[in-house]
Amino acid sequence: MIVADVRPDLMPYYKEDCDPKNLAPLWEVLHSFARKEPKSDCQAYIWQYKNIRDTLMKSADLITAEQAERRVLILENPGMRGRYRVTTSLFAGLQLIMPGEIAPAHRHTQAALRFIVEGSGAYTAVNGEKTIMEEGDFVLTPSWTWHDHGNESNQPMVWLDGLDVPLVETLDTTFAEPYPDKIHPTTRPSGDSLARYGMGLAPVDYEQKSPNSPIFNYPYVRTREALEMMRKTEEWDLCHGLKLRYINPDNGQSAMPTLGTFMQLLPKNFETSNYKSTDATVFSVVEGSGKSFIGDQVFEWSKRDHFVVPCWAQQKHIANEDAVLFSFSDRPVQQTLGLWREDRGNN
């Protein structure tokens, strides 16, 4: 046990009585986890795409998608270097698939999201259904589902991977398995899940069997249209502009049980109110440009940039032009456990 400012007269008791028996005094460390408010190693940071794209593309000259299994550059939080995470509970990275490549099929207990950053026409396949991906699409890869990726277009494809890796590691429930073949067989036509479950309809004998949304790909074109319809009715929120939450149509909850996903529109010159929440959040800029005040830092952002807001850090966003931001966090987990809270603040 290493504790600062310990009373000298107590040290023999700690060293001779407690340590050999793997015991430790709570009173020496209680202050470190019974705090008045959260304290995290996660730091605010921005990855500007113009500064990292060349590094990402260079990786394709050094290793193939098949050799790497997943050619991903991790967005590693500077406050947690070497721990392979963007927030305390989440992983994020940018995955690159070049024309003609295939990332072989596998499955794992970690749930994953794909948010398409650059390119058009590559695919991901999950449990036998393939979807063609376009910029701004949000694609689910639920826990323990077979999935592979391929690029049948003539241009590079880049997407944001978001996974609950650190959370699953904390629970010691990590499992993974490679598929015997490079590609999992296709058993359903592309667009099947959206047609069946994304139109306010469901097969007559359908029963919910998973906490994940039955919709596989939430196309950006539909999400963007929804934001524009909200703009017409001026449903502005002082802290978020216009903000939508991706949901599971079965139950109205988050599309994935461990990953909360959102899309918001900030109109030109819109300035949000100060805001705090306990879910550290990763943002991906889909359209437009602006700046964010996070704690005592200011980040200028534009299309395809990514930035992270730590837990309980004060944030404010200003749009230079109409801007659309995708974001994800562990909010569903916090809400399920009754831990999530927010502070809507004041200007």
Give residue-wise pLDDT tens across range 27-53: 998 888 888 999 999 999 999 999 999
d(CA 288, CA 322): 6
**Which residue has tokens 């200007």?**
347
For position 104, what pLDDT does the model report?
95
Question: Per the domain annotation, does 38 fall within a domain?
Answer: no
Q: 346 falls in which pLDDT band (50, 70, 90)?
A: low
DSSP bridge pairs for 73: 94
Within a domain: 7: no
- Cα(103)–Cα(65) distance, rounded to whole angstroms? 5
Tokens of 254: 């988050």
Q: Is residue 15 part of a domain?
A: no
Q: Is residue 16 part of a domain?
A: no
Question: Does pLDDT of 5 surpass 80?
Answer: no
For CA atoms 116, 120, 124, 128, the dihedral sign is positive
Mean residue pLDDT of the chain comes to 95
At 160-207, the pLDDT tens digits run 999 999 999 999 999 999 999 999 999 999 989 999 899 888 889 888
Is the residue at 213 inside a domain?
A: yes
CA distances (Å), 299 to each of 278, 285, 307, in order? 20, 12, 8
- Domain count of the chain? 1
Token pair, residue 313, equals: 């850090």
Look at residue 124 and tell me if it is in a domain: yes
Mean pLDDT of 258-262: 98
User: Which pairing describes strands 342-343 and 276-277: parallel, antiparallel, or unpaired?
Assistant: antiparallel
Quote the tokens at residue 239: 């802290």
Judged against a pLDDT cut of 90, whether residue 141 lies above it is answered with yes
pLDDT digits (tens, 9 = 90+) for 206-257: 888 899 999 999 999 999 999 999 999 988 999 999 999 999 999 999 999 9
Residue 217 located in a structural domain: yes
The CATH number covering residue 207 comes to 2.60.120.10
Q: What are phi and psi of 170, to 5 degrees?
A: -60, -35
Mean pLDDT of 82-100: 97
pLDDT of residue 121: 93
Q: Are 253 and 326 in contact (CB under 8 A)?
A: no
Tell me the pLDDT band of 347, cut-offs 50, 70 and 90.
very low
**H or E segment to which residue 335 belongs:** helix 331-336
CA triple 244-263-279, angle to 5 deg: 90
pLDDT at 2 over 80: no
Confidence of residue 334 (pLDDT cuts 50, 70, 90): very high
Closest CA to 190 of 159, 160, 152: 152
> Does some domain include residue 10?
no
DSSP 8-state code for residue 20: G
Q: Domain range for residue 119? A: 45-343
| 150: its two tokens | 């391929």
pLDDT, tens digit, 9 for 90 and up, residues 92-105: 999 999 999 999 99
**pLDDT surpassing 50 at residue 288:** yes
What's at 106, amino acid-wise? Answer: H
Measured CA to CA, the distance from residue 85 to residue 82 in angstroms comes to 8
Residue 4 has pLDDT above 80, yes or no: no
Instruction: Please say if the pLDDT value at position 308 is more than 90.
Output: yes
Percent of the chain whose predicted confidence (pLDDT) is above 90:
87
- Backbone phi, then psi, for 69, in 5-degree steps? 70, -50
